[in-house]
Amino acid sequence: MVYFKRLESILLANNPQEKFDAFDLFYEDFKSNKLQIEDNYTPVELEEPSYSSFMNIVLPKQIQKRKYFDTLEGKAILLHTIAHIEYSAIDLALDAALRFKDLPKAYYEDWLEVAEDEIRHFKMIEKLLTEIGYKYGDFEVHTNLFEAMKKTTTFLERMAVVPRFLEANGLDQNPKIMEKLHSSPDALNQKILQALETILEEEIDHVTKGDRWFKYACKLENLEPETTYLEILEKYYPGVTKGNKNDMNFEARKLAGFSCDELKRLSNKQDCN
């Protein structure tokens, strides 16, 4: 049984349950060393996200900002937003384990483990959605995470942009949502809060994996990691390294491998112990 072609079919699968079932079988085979790595595999060129056939996709500016915590629909929109981030993260992890060849086995182990986590996160949030009468697909979404995946085709840039920038930004946003949930402690908010606590803890590990493999990629190319990271961020997200981010979760980012010098450069805070 082959590794890359099977994983490619899972990445491209446009039915969530079929994707998850196929991944479970694939992952068991991977852990049992039943898969053969193909020497002649060429990564698939991604033109559209795997969810394009069943989601209403709009531009980010077309998604209206709403108050998430005042109504049941608002909470459903919050859950749907989180579910879409998690579903997109599944494909990001699958693609990381697919696109880059000739790396240590530990690399593929890491990103398949991340994919397994993201599937569990998605199912956890989807369950809360269905409990209140909604489903994934009921609200419009944008493709920002997919576009980042599509653009970062080199190992170095993917590790910098996806886990070490986009997922790390989630470490900053998650506590702010949790704080609002704490301030409105109804039964549903408590369930959402418990889910977010689990996600935050495990996302720190995901960013840590990205940090490790980004630094590995820098070592392969004889590059200085902190300078290289800032250069890549400026390439894809001009202005983000200007130090004007005031809500950065220093504690979580330090656990994930960021240095105090990086954190002070990226934020407007200068206290980092």
Please tell me the distance from the alpha carbon of residue 100 to that of residue 42, in angstroms, as a whole number: 10
Please tell me the distance from the alpha carbon of residue 149 to that of residue 270, in angstroms, as a whole number: 32
At residue 249, φ and ψ (nearest 5 deg) are -85, 85
For residue 87, give the DSSP letter. Answer: H
pLDDT of residue 230: 94
- How far, in whole angstroms, is CA 134 from its chain's centroid? 23
- How far, in whole angstroms, is CA 258 from its chain's centroid? 17
Instruction: Calculate the dihedral angle through the C-alpha atoms of 87, 88, 91, 95, rounding to the nearest 10 degrees.
Output: -160
Longest dimension (CA), the chain: 55
Summarize pLDDT for 164-207 with one digit per residue, the tens: 999 999 999 999 889 888 887 788 999 999 999 999 999 999 99
pLDDT of residue 63: 77
Please tell me the distance from the alpha carbon of residue 145 to that of residue 97, in angstroms, as a whole number: 16
Amino acid residing at 122: F
pLDDT of residue 66: 63
User: Would you state the structure tokens that stand for residue 19, as one six-digit string?
Assistant: 């994707």
Residue extents of the structural domains in the chain:
61-266
State the pTM of this model.
Answer: 0.95
SS3 of residue 97 by DSSP: helix
Q: Is 54 exposed, middle or buried (0-12, 13-18, 19+ CB in 10 A)?
A: exposed
Return the percentage of the chain with pLDDT > 90, whole number. 79
Which of 189, 156, 199 is CA-nearest to residue 74? Answer: 189
Which of 180, 202, 201, 181 is CA-nearest to residue 190? Answer: 181
Contact residues for 71 (Cβ-Cβ < 8 A; gap 6+): none
User: Would you state the structure tokens that stand for residue 20, as one six-digit string?
Assistant: 């998850």
pLDDT of residue 182: 82
Please tell me the distance from the alpha carbon of residue 116 to that of residue 103, in angstroms, as a whole number: 20
Residues of the chain with pLDDT under 70: 64-68
Summarize pLDDT for 63-93 with one digit per residue, the tens: 766 666 778 888 999 999 999 999 999 999 9
Q: Which sign, positive or negative, has the C-alpha torsion 79, 84, 85, 89? A: positive
> CATH fold of 61-266, please?
Ferritin (1.20.1260)
